[in-house]
Amino acid sequence: MLSFDGTFLKSESLNGTNLKFPLHGPQRRQILNFQNSMAKNPKAADSRRGRPPTRRPQPSRAKEVPAASSADIEDLAPAVPGAAAAAAAAPAVLRAQLLRWYDVHRRDLPWRRASGGEEERAYAVWVSEVMLQQTRVPVVVGYYERWMARWPTVRDLAAATQEEVNEMWAGLGYYRRARFLLEGAKQIVEKGEFPRTASALREVRGIGDYTAGAIASIAFNEVVPVVDGNVVRVISRLYAISDNPKESSTMKRFWEIAGQLVDPSRSGDFNQAMMELGATLCSKSKPGCSGCPVSSHCQALALSLENPSVKVTDFPRVVPKAKPRSDFAAVCVVQIAQGLEEEVTDAKGTDNLFLLIKRPEEGLLAGLWEFPLVLVEEGKTDSLNRRKAMDKYLTKLLSIDVGWKSDVILREDVGEHVHIFSHIRLTMYVELMIINLKDGVDRLCKKEDDKLKFTNESSVESMGLTSGIRKVYNMVKAFKEKRLSVSEKGQVPTRKRSRRLK
């Protein structure tokens, strides 16, 4: 059914999806004039609808209802040439305008230059789309190029280890994405072929609706939509959708509209054009409406021009994020100084080892390596309580070899670092502890398992640590360099501390 509210032509399909198209100029004036005439002459309206006129009491002027949007636009269409066809024509016009703009203005990105067959193209799209989730394009470009140089095909990736993948991914965050990429690659290689449809792609570990749609449309030209944050922003402004974008019913509506808009002959290019528009001109806070190729279709823009209190940036609705919980942790960088005299508090040399612990395979930062870390209560973040908690943890951890003793020749607080996750604000209290194990180091290293290892400084420098743990390591490194500089200048170093670990 079509209707008109004074500014927009509204179309409601049989499946309940509502679409709105702004009308301007002569068409809008014709519809308004016709509505006014129908309101003033009810008999004429009844006659046009094919109903017999009825006698009605004449309302007084004080109660007269202004000309409103009560008339069905389907009934009015013959009096307004072209108006009824506007709803059907608008998507086709929008597609053409958007694709023309994309052909000229699209950014030159490495994954858009991927060569080879459809499977190679699909793999390139997959890697890039996973990297781009929650990460800006300029950051991704370098990671993508290094990744593809090392693993140019899905079969190359399937042969990699999780350690190698984590090392390559280090710094991108959301490390579960890297694990899913590797697991998905192994699954595809095991089946023997790359899935070619969105429904088949969704069966691959870690591939959801959005990634499946992107791969299927861009690599295999399947006519399926994609909806990411950029597309949500574009659609919500085109159709002035003010509903909460986080609600499932609203997201379903976005997917339905995107499915109706996608170009049947250039689905991949159209989906990329929608994302490109949202990432560039149709930005969150500073949309470039004057240069937008589809601004004539934008209801949010039309509303903002007619009502100063409405802004394009009001769409989509901004939903306040849940406040992240605050966690506190003691982090101890344990350095095993082999063959060092106890008077030397600034350990140097290639023989020194660092203790690293592997996180559980499920949960936050699953399967990644870090320095010993213990969560502490907010009220027990003082040095004494932190060290008690850490000592208990280390004693339990290192009790794998009973009978050896070690001297702690240096233990000092280094500083604090706050690391922000999507839902956690983690304050890490960092300390450095240098241990002289004397003759016990060999026996301790023999007890390594898949959850504990000792690695030298050069390996720590190159391995794939998370950005938070890398910051901790750099803090300790700077602390040691400062102490060494003070020592070389002849100033009195901090007094050595010695104690026993049991």
| Residues marked as catalytic | 129
Structural contact between residues 14 and 21, judged by C-beta atoms closer than 8 angstroms = no
- 5 near 240, Cβ under 8 Å? no
- Name the H helices within 106-174: 118-132, 137-150, 154-158, 162-169
Q: Are strands 2-4 and 18-22 parallel, antiparallel or unpaired?
A: unpaired
Token pair, residue 456, equals: 């030298």
User: From CA 356, how far away is CA 373, in angstroms rounded?
Assistant: 10
Q: Is the dihedral of CA 468, 471, 472, 473 positive or negative?
A: positive
Phi, psi of 24 (to 5 degrees): -130, 165
Contact (Cβ atoms closer than 8 angstroms) between residue 98 and residue 293: yes
User: Which 3 state secondary structure label does DSSP give 424?
Assistant: strand
**In the chain, what are the helix, strand and coil shares in percent, each to the nearest 5?**
50, 15, 35
Contact assessment for residue 22 and residue 297, using Cβ atoms and an 8 Å cutoff:
yes
Q: Which single residue is written with the structure tokens 């974008």?
A: 245
92 close to 86: Cβ distance less than 8 angstroms: no
- Cβ partners under 8 Å of residue 201, min gap 6: 195, 207, 211, 212, 215, 216
**CA atoms of 230 and 208, how far apart (whole Å):** 17
Q: How far apart are the first and last CA of the chain?
A: 80
CB atoms within 10 A of CB 246: 11
Contact between 54 and 23 under an 8 Å Cβ cutoff? The reply is: no
CA distance 296 to 362: 49
Comparing CA positions, the residue from 313, 228, 235, 312 lying closest to residue 272 is: 228
Burial annotation 57-90 (CB, 10 A radius, 16+ → b, else e) = eeeeeeeeeebebebebebbbeebeebbebbeeb
Could you give the maximum distance between any two Cα atoms of the chain, in Å? 111
Strand partners, 415: 430
